[in-house]
């Protein structure tokens, strides 16, 4: 067996940046991810054991019967056994004092999906001077309007995770919108909380808008700039398209050409946070009388984009006429190790494979042995040199066929094997360079 040592320039590590495409199609409250249908199993209608339109984060409970799911458990011990030390998904009370030895079971079949929140117009803005609204003020009702909107990360006294109609109080934005707007304000004046002339004046503290949140499991480290595209359909016909032509995060209506609002900024996209804010409130197409969930009207407009997401829409049959799609590219970085393995001239032309020897030789398989020795007789190498002549034996050429490349550590322990698709013919006059790549 021939062993060669890697030279200094034969092994290097780099990072491969890829841009996988992801698409969501929303219709009748359901979500299709990458147009992949649910696969049914013996025990579950969806073998991933997650709700429709969700992606399984760990793919632990694949097609497991109900009641036999794998769950995680935490044993309280030492300092970690007190209140606020453990946060449990799905538990509303976080002030439980656990005693050492207590076992807390946690659901292990976590999933992720996109979310949509609709915020109607309000007449009074919290924090009109852009100062923080304290939790005490909100709880005491000193500054909270009836349909209050929190722009500094706080919640109303009666927060709602989703809004079914415009009369409900408490429309939480569960992040600090002010801070991320400031972060990207250098890109465009549209990232200001309150825009000024010559732009259309709109105040995100009071204006009608909707927010679409995309978990990072769908895009990796960030969404690729300029790849976001939103399409709005009614009865199968496209009535609006938003794209980021300038790669600045401005979602501009680019279609249909010449339609109302064409060329206007209808929203913002935050590529690193996976957040889309839609503020376009102009009418798209004709009024189809669609009863949009959580809205105060039936007009088609960008603030209604994604309406009914993950909700039961049986009570609003006419919402089925509207559908929405979100397409974008994520950004993933994969560290890779590249190894260059050389097969030099006049090397690797001998083999331990029995087929390397000539079976027709009179000495093939012959040996001399005694009580202290075992010696095989010398046998000629099989001549497999190709020729098109009949009854002619060509001059023998030492040749082998390389089918595997093995990687060893410094102690000659086998740590990896790479196989080629087809054996490579090696002669003394040929040299090869095998390029091996390993994702870390």
The string of pLDDT tens digits covering residues 224-253 is: 999 999 999 999 899 999 999 999 999 999
Q: How confident is the model at residue 92 (pLDDT cuts 50, 70, 90)?
A: very low
Residues 291-330 have pLDDT tens digits of 886 556 788 999 999 888 877 655 555 777 899 999 999 9
Query: 185 in the Ramachandran plot: left (φ > 0), alpha (ψ -120 to 50) or beta?
Result: alpha
Tell me what pLDDT residue 197 has: 85
Q: Given 3-state DSSP classes, what are the helix, strand and coil percentages for the chain, each rounded to the nearest 5? A: 10, 30, 60
CA distances from residue 233 to 254, 261, 425 in whole angstroms, order as listed: 14, 16, 58
Place of tokens 């790479």: 418
Taken in order 58, 326, 315, 36, is the CA torsion positive or negative? negative
pLDDT tens-digit readout, 10-19:
999 999 999 9
Q: Is the omega angle on the peptide bond into residue 256 within 30 degrees of 0, that is, cis?
A: yes
Burial status of residue 84 (CB atoms within 10 A of its CB: 0-12, 13-18, 19 or more): exposed
Bridge partners, 414 (sequence order): 408
With beta carbons less than 8 A apart as the criterion, state whether 144 and 151 touch: no
Environment class of 18 (CB within 10 Å of its CB; exposed 0-12, middle 13-18, buried 19+):
exposed
Are residues 244 and 190 in contact, defined by beta-carbon separation less than 8 angstroms? no
pLDDT tens digits along 347-381? 998 887 777 888 888 788 788 898 899 998 888 88
CA distances from 239 to 32, 35, 44, 186, 409 (A): 20, 21, 37, 31, 61
More confident residue, 360 or 413: 413
Cis before 332 (ω within 30): no
| Secondary structure (H, E, C), 314-339 | CCCHHHHHEEEEEEEEEEEEEEEEEE
The torsion region of residue 99 among left (phi > 0), alpha (psi -120 to 50) and beta comes to beta
Give the per-residue pLDDT at 383.
81
Which residues are within 8 A (CB) of 184 and not within 5 positions of it... i.e. 6 or more apart?
Answer: 191, 249, 270
**How many Å apart are CA 266 and CA 24, to the nearest integer?**
19
Give 436's DSSP letter. E
Residues 73-82 have a mean pLDDT of 50
Q: What pLDDT is recorded for position 29?
A: 80
How far apart CA 222 and CA 240 sit, in angstroms, is: 25
C-alpha span between 204 and 215 (Å, rounded): 23
**Total-model pTM:** 0.72
Specify the DSSP class assigned to residue 236: T
Q: What is the pLDDT of residue 294?
A: 59
Which of 333, 225, 306, 229 lies closest to 271 in space, CA to CA? 225
**Mean pLDDT value across residues 106-114:** 76
Q: With cut-offs at 50, 70 and 90, classify the pLDDT of residue 203.
A: confident
d(CA 46, CA 10): 47
Q: Looking at 19-102, which runs of residues are DSSP E strands?
A: 21-27, 30-33, 55-56, 71-75
Q: Which of 53, 28, 30 is nearest to 316 (CA)?
A: 28
- Mean pLDDT computed over every residue of the chain: 79
Question: Residue 112 pLDDT more than 70?
Answer: yes
What whole-number distance in Å separates Cα of residue 86 and Cα of residue 109?
19
Which strand (E) or helix (H) includes residue 140?
A: helix 135-140
pLDDT at 100 over 80: no
Query: Coil, strand, or helix at residue 87?
Result: coil
Residue 135 phi, psi dihedral angles, 5° rounding:
-60, -35
Alpha carbon distances (Å) from 127 to 159, 178, 195, 205, 330? 18, 11, 16, 9, 35
Phi/psi at 387 (5° precision): -150, 150
């Amino acid at each position: 067996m021939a062993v060669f040592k890697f030279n200094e320039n034969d092994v290097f590590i780099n990072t491969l940046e890829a841009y996988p495409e992801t698409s969501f199609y929303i219709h009748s409250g359901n979500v299709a991810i990458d147009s992949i249908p649910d696969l049914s199993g013996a025990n579950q209608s969806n073998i991933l054991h997650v709700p429709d339109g969700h992606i399984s984060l760990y793919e632990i409970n694949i097609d497991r019967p109900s009641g036999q799911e794998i769950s995680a458990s935490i044993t309280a011990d030492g300092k970690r056994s007190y209140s606020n030390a453990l946060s449990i998904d799905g538990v509303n009370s976080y002030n439980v004092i656990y005693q050492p030895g207590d076992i807390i079971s946690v659901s292990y079949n976590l999933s992720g999906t996109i979310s949509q929140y609709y915020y109607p117009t309000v007449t009074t803005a919290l924090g009109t001077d852009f100062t923080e609204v304290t939790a005490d003020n909100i709880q005491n009702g000193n500054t909270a309007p009836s349909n209050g909107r929190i722009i500094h990360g706080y919640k109303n006294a009666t927060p709602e995770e989703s809004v079914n109609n415009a009369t409900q109080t408490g429309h939480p934005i569960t992040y600090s919108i002010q801070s991320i707007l400031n972060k990207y304000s250098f890109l465009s004046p549209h990232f200001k909380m309150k825009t000024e002339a010559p732009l259309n004046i709109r105040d995100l503290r009071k204006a009608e808008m909707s927010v679409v949140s995309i978990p990072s499991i769908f895009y990796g480290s960030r969404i690729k700039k300029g790849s976001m595209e939103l399409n709005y359909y009614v009865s199968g016909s496209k009535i609006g398209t938003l794209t980021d032509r300038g790669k600045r995060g401005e979602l501009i209506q680019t279609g249909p050409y010449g339609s109302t609002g064409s060329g206007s900024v209808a929203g913002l996209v935050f590529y690193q946070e996976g957040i889309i804010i839609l503020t376009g409130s102009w009418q798209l197409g004709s009024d189809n009388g669609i009863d949009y969930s959580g809205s105060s009207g039936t007009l088609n407009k960008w603030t209604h984009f994604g309406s009914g997401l993950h909700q039961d829409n049986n009570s609003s049959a006419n919402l089925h006429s509207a559908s929405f799609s979100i397409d974008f590219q994520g950004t993933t970085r994969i560290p890779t190790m590249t190894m260059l393995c050389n097969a030099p001239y006049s090397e690797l032309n001998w083999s331990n494979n029995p087929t390397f020897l000539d079976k027709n030789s009179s000495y093939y398989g012959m040996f001399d042995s005694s009580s202290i020795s075992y010696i095989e007789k010398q046998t000629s190498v099989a001549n497999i040199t190709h020729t098109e002549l009949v009854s002619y034996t060509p001059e023998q050429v030492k040749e082998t066929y390389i089918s595997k490349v093995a990687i060893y550590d410094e102690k000659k322990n086998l740590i990896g094997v790479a196989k080629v698709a087809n054996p490579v013919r090696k002669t003394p006059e040929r040299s090869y360079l095998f390029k091996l790549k390993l994702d870390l």
